[in-house]
Amino acid sequence: MSFEYKEENLVLIYKGQNYEFRAPSAIEQRQISRKFKEADENADVVGLYVDFFVQLGCPQDVLEKMSMTGLLDLFAYSVGAKKN
């Protein structure tokens, strides 16, 4: 008996264009959660989200065009809190 882990690929659709990226690992989710908890009122929260998604393979130029609501929804989708 064995267990095979396959990296989960997700898709961001922006203006009809598909952008494939990988789901974050448990360690990456923990790291970003810590960064958000440690952030103060002067922190660049948008930058934290953009950097997180770029690390997962999303194009930065697309992410920078998205609203904060879009980034939050993409985050929920990528960590499994919201599936379309």
pLDDT digits 0-9 by tens, 24-83:
999 999 999 999 898 888 889 899 999 999 999 999 999 999 999 999 999 999 988 665
pLDDT of residue 50: 95
pLDDT of residue 80: 80
DSSP class per residue in 6-70: -PPEEEEEETTEEEEEEPPPHHHHHHHHHHHHH--TTS-HHHHHHHHHHHHT--HHHHTTS-HHH
pLDDT of residue 84: 52
Per-domain residue ranges for the chain?
25-78
